[in-house]
Structure 1
């Protein structure tokens, strides 16, 4: 609609200007015709939308509260398990001992398999058997129902052809009777039965029993229960059970369960841990039994091999008379070294005996009197022969005595000869002793040589025996170690069979959830608040983007090249159905002051001392053109200037209505020369202000305006009046306004705040460029300082397709508009 309206306006302007709007324009286009963000308009839209923002925020918070009120809280209970999976061969340490068939390099990370085991029917079946999941008990609430897990005041036992997954409603009429209703075959069934007594429903036998939670309050509430089949339970567990691998490196698994009842969630997680433990124990016992069977088989085979290896080694020991060849080598080497040391000692003794023999023959036992024989011959002690030492000591004493005697006697003297004889005798005794010792040494050396040869022969056989011993010991040690190891493992697994433990640890057992994971109250309220704010801001953005009317002077200045002559505020002193002269009644009001400001600005544009022709026009009807014309003329007239107002809107005359006068004759009759100018002048309450009404509506207003008679009328009026103020038709609808504006000294263009479209401002620029209106000024009418709308009167022009103008319409204020006014 806005695009069509703008197109029509442009077409009308082109028609009014004779196609001048399409002529080349040498003047540069304005750099800013409303582009960018207008913060004043944005602030105005935000102020007007503040109530909506508050309402939307309240709506968002209300929606959040309703969501929390009608949504069941979901609780999550979790436990953390550490899995230490090992292969059985790796656990036995048999990878290297048993060779092929055992792979100790198998992966120990079987977490994915453990996850599937936990979520398998094996665990689900154990859960159904250990937990009371077959029947769900509920209590009816005002809005929501709540599950009575472990707290139900009654218990149901059933048998026969069970009706699964059907809601059975219960109402206890007394402690002994209960009313039951249910749907069967699409029809509601009702029955009253006694408590603790079996009764039939279809082919199913039911017994309703009271529990310890049954009390008097139960009679005031409604309950229902559902019997679940295996598929329903498995589906329930699949939907709410979550098993995740938390840390593959640490082999940790988290088991989580979602439930509306926190006690039930914790009970299920703890039971899953328990049944998983039991299943793992059963698997380990089965694996242990298979391992024991394998160990018995290996022990039998290894025992036979060990027996054969032991017999072969026994034959070797009998033949070699040793259990350890390498240790005997050390022993033989030690014997050889010992024999070599003994031979060396005997050789030293033999050399010493030879030396003693030489000394005895020479008589050179000692050379000094102050030395003994042992001191003179150090090796004498090694002979360990006290008799020889005694004989040598006696001989040495005789030799010393002989030397003393020879100093004082000759060799022929008896004293010398007797001592020589004794020395000769002593030497003979020593020779016999030395000879005896030499013979003994010879025998000892011969015996040592025999022993050395025997030991050396044994050493020559050691390498061969050592090789044979290693060959026999190798299988013996292998079979013996394996046998001992297998016996130990068998004992360990026999013990494990009695006390098998699972290969996992419960690092964090399931705890009672303190708060629900969904919905999170703070998050829901935050989302509601954010949604309200987002919708409010979105509404502001939409209203700003769809805000296509002029609201303030800034928009007018930014979008038009014409100067702004002034701003007329909203006149809210009284509600006017039509335009009136108000400046004479309220000379001190804001509207009077604003029009005086416009009068002053007009004096700057055109001197007040000369005759002036002022035209007042607008784009469409309803922008306050007549109101401004009447009151601007009144203000100028109050400044002692003679003013006449001409109503050239001959299709829809309004000036006479503003002054409460008749429209029998006027401009139209003057131009057709039916009446004279002076005959049509009408006076007002202001002595210097007159007006000429439009007169009867002619069929050709445009032709009358361009006739020479119109110029003659203006010339005649200039002789009497200082200012001629013309109320022209809207330029966006007819061509008359453009024709009059060309004749005016100061064309004034009226823009009404919150009424005139922003597209009209572009049309103003086109009119200025097409007609070279250098003095065209704009006036912003009905500008509001507060949030109120308009100055109370509603009127408007419009051109019908068959007539001329559209009919006047007065905007009807909605309830929201009135609320907004009150809020502002």
Structure 2
């Protein structure tokens, strides 16, 4: 039972006995022990069912690698943005959706390979003896377990339990879902290893790995997961870099399967290296594509002029003709080459200017070197623009911050403005040079017109041929240069320590944490329960409750009855419970003496409601008077719900009712008991008008006759909170005892008692606290003084009271069986 003193921390006290508080809480140790057993059992079951968690890492470095074939005349440069920018870009890329989609697709990690563990299915990637190749254009069973059992080395059985008549299928080519009809129940079918499986819900080939080991008779499971869900799981890869700007990056993963993590960590770095090289080669790739398209047109033009020259030489003395115009031919070719170079530069600038003004994606810009432009400002700024554009497109899949994109856009806008100014300046210079070369060509052409017609025609044809041949050779050289640069490019990302399973790496589960949580919760829940019971419990708990609610004196505290019989004093006269009733007897004698009651003394015992122990207290108070050789009688005045007869194994055929209706005399209704000097008068048959009988004149005559025969008259009455019978009987009693039972009687009943006393309905009332248990044992045996009596000595009464041996479960069971 709860004791409000156990929560004295909530009372307004000058000091708080913390040690006492802990000892009182410890009184409920059984609750705490049960809660701890349950919580630790749950923690243990959770721990043994949890799969082991491992951590794997790979270490890479970021170092800006310059192409060893770059020269002062090689302008195919890719600027990644510097080491610090690379580290940030790589960290973002590794966690981006687009990057992890490529890795998951490459490894087909949306397929789970499972085996049945002791408690649940476990990831068996790398340990199963087979793998499946799927047709991505056809549907696969989505999310369901596909059981695979090997009948022999070359034959296996598929088992799929279908709980409904339709299932969801997933097509990985476009990651779309659909449904297909199936037969409800278990699907079972056998296939050969390597045989194509073509079902509405499954399309694969199962292949055995090299050196698979023994697998005959073993059972495995395959599951097809959602592609996007799988990618989301791997986006959480842990990427760490030194805060001081170091170029070392650590990639880490945690999971239950070390082989899967090792494969993924190494694959994601390899995919990153490939993508970074592709980005680094973007300049060269763009340039090669531009040169290839130019070479196609130049090749046809060169072939056309070659045929024209061949036709002209036919049937002519070509040597005489060439000798006369050789000096003019070489000179004008030089001017034509210069003009072509200047024209190509101007054309590139015009094209670049239009591209800058009209486009937003600059990743496909060709290198300025294809037009022979070596201006470092132009080359560097175009390189930066391509780098920023590529980086921005990469981050579009991983970063959702508008501020970052605005920063990129601002940087690219600034570079565009600088480029446009550089273009304007370079074009004005080129226009001047182009005018000078054109003037020289005009002068040379004027001199050529003075030559014979055959020489003029030859120079004209040869001029076109030599120019085309020169341009073609130049582009071939640049294409070769671009191929070499592309092949010689090095990635900026290097493995330091690839991921590898070298044993260890166990990081979970955190069993100690679970046990600490179990300890905490195992103590918290019963504590909260105790506090909750305290706040919602409105029943009397202890002496302090009574003292706070009323000024009616408390003359005794009776402990909890642990026997089946209510004759506690008679059965065990030396017990602590018996001593508490003797203390009540002493207090009653003091009250009688104080009121100058002479002769026979009457005592009325009542309570608020039934079940508070009126009859129990009546019997034992009467017993202690009888044991002191005082003639005592217990009168069962509860005419509505009699109970007294049961305690003495009597029949309730005759009693007070028979006397009050003038049927029987007192001698005829009086029953002797096994206790010397103690008689009992039962209530008798239940009457239809109990209240009228009690207020009749016969009741007064009845009490007067009893006073002539007995020293003490104990009236066992009905509850005063339910009926008015006890109020009518109070006029016949010298003292009224009001029984309050711990953790049963409600506090508001004390308030009703106060009101009755104020109205004079009850007089000379004292209170007894019944059924008291002080679980905390703190202060046990101290007593309350003033005849409160002994309720629990807690060891201080050794030698004074009868020692009560605890009954075993077996003895209690035997006793109940005998009953």
* TM-score strictly above 0.5: yes
Give the aligned partner of residue 211 of structure 1. Answer: 209
Which has the larger displacement, 295-304 or 692-701?
Answer: 295-304
Structure 2 residue runs of 5 or longer lacking an equivalent are 12-16, 163-179, 288-365, 379-425, 434-480, 777-808
Q: Residues 769-789 of structure 1, C-alpha deviation per residue, up to 9 Å, x if partnerless? A: 4438674222233445789xx
1:735: how far off?
Answer: 0.7
Distance 1:556 1:666 in 2: 35
1:338-487 correspondence to structure 2 within 5 Å: none
| Aligned position for 1:239 | 233
* 2:38 aligns with one of 30, 35, 59: 59
Larger radius of gyration between Structure 1 and Structure 2 = 1
Cα distance in 2 for residues equivalent to 1:769 and 1:725: 25
Correspondence 1:11-26 to 2 at 5 A: none
Pick the aligned partner of 1:736 from 697, 717, 725: 725
CA distance in 1 between counterparts of 2:713 and 2:504 reads: 86
How many angstroms apart in 2 are the aligned matches of 1:125 and 1:277?
Answer: 15
Deviations 1:688-723 (A, max 9, x none): 544544455444433443445544554554455443
SS at match of 1:626: helix
Distance across 2 between alignment mates of 1:765 and 1:86? 97
- Partner residue of 1:18? none
Of stretches 591-600 and 634-643 in structure 1, the one that deviates more from structure 2 is 634-643
Superimposed CA distance per residue, residues 664-688 of structure 1 (whole angstroms, 9 cap, x where no aligned partner): 6654455556666677655555665
Give the equivalent residue in structure 1 for 2:477.
none
1:729 Cα offset (Å): 2.0
Partner of 2:555: 565
SS at match of 1:297: coil
Counterpart Cα distance in 2 of 1:653 and 1:73? 68
- Secondary structure in structure 2 of the residue aligned to 1:724: strand
For the pair 1:152 / 2:128, whether they are aligned, the reply is: yes
TM superposition shift of 1:175: 2.5
Q: Which residue of 1 aligns with 2:323?
A: none
Q: Distance in 2 between matches of 1:771 and 1:716?
A: 27
Cα distance in structure 2, aligned partners of 1:105 and 1:207: 46
Post-superposition shift, 1:540? 3.4
Give the aligned partner of residue 198 of structure 2: 201
> Which residue in 1 is equivalent to 2:273?
277
Offset at 1:599? 1.0
1:705 alignment partner in structure 2: 694
Q: Measured at CA, do residues 668 and 170 of structure 1 come closer, stay the same or move farther in structure 2, by a change above 3 Å?
A: closer
Q: What's the C-alpha RMSD, in Å, of the aligned pairs?
A: 5.5
The one of 589, 595, 610 equivalent to 2:598 is 610
Distance 1:240 1:517, change over 3 A: farther
Alignment partner of 2:245 out of 234, 244, 250: 250
CA apart distance, 1:658: 4.8
Q: Using a 3 Å threshold, how does the CA distance of structure 1 residues 87 and 118 change in structure 2: closer, same or farther?
A: farther
Q: Deviations over 1:136-194 (max 9, x none)?
A: 54444454334443343234456696554566543222233333456885246544444
Task: Give me the whole-angstrom Cα distance separating, in 2, the residues matched to 1:194 and 1:676.
Answer: 106
* Aligned pairs for 1:1-16 within 5 A: none
Shift of 1:297: 0.5
Asked if the contact 2:148/2:219 (under 8 Å) is kept, the reply is yes
Total equivalences in the alignment: 564
TM-aligned CA distance change 1:213 to 1:546, over 3 Å: farther
Report the Cα distance in structure 2 between the residues aligned to 1:591 and 1:227, rounded to whole angstroms.
Answer: 74
- Equivalent position of 1:479 in the other structure: none
Query: 1:592 is matched with which residue: 578, 583, 587?
Result: 578
Tell me if the contact between 2:101 and 2:231 (Cα under 8 Å) persists in the aligned partners: no
Once the two structures are superposed, residues 745-765 of structure 1 have per-residue CA deviations (whole angstroms, 9 ceiling, x without a partner) of 221112344554454444444
**Residue 222 (1) aligns with residue 219 (2):** yes
Q: 1:618-767 residue pairs with structure 2 within 5 A?
A: 618-655=607-644, 658=647, 667-668=656-657, 670-671=659-660, 684=673, 688-715=677-704, 717-719=706-708, 721-753=710-742, 755-767=744-756
Q: Structure 1: how far apart are the matches of 2:71 and 2:538?
A: 87
Rounded Cα–Cα distance in structure 1 between residues aligned with 2:661 and 2:147 = 96
Using the alignment, how far apart are the partners of 1:653 and 1:136 within structure 2?
76
Q: Once the 2 structures are TM-superposed, how far is the Cα of residue 731 of structure 1 from its aligned partner? A: 0.6
- The Cα shift of 1:520 comes to 3.2
Q: Distance in 1 between matches of 2:120 and 2:557?
A: 62
Alpha-carbon distance between aligned partners in 1 of 2:737 and 2:21, rounded to the nearest angstrom: 24
TM norm structure 2: 0.55
SS in 2 for 1:771: coil
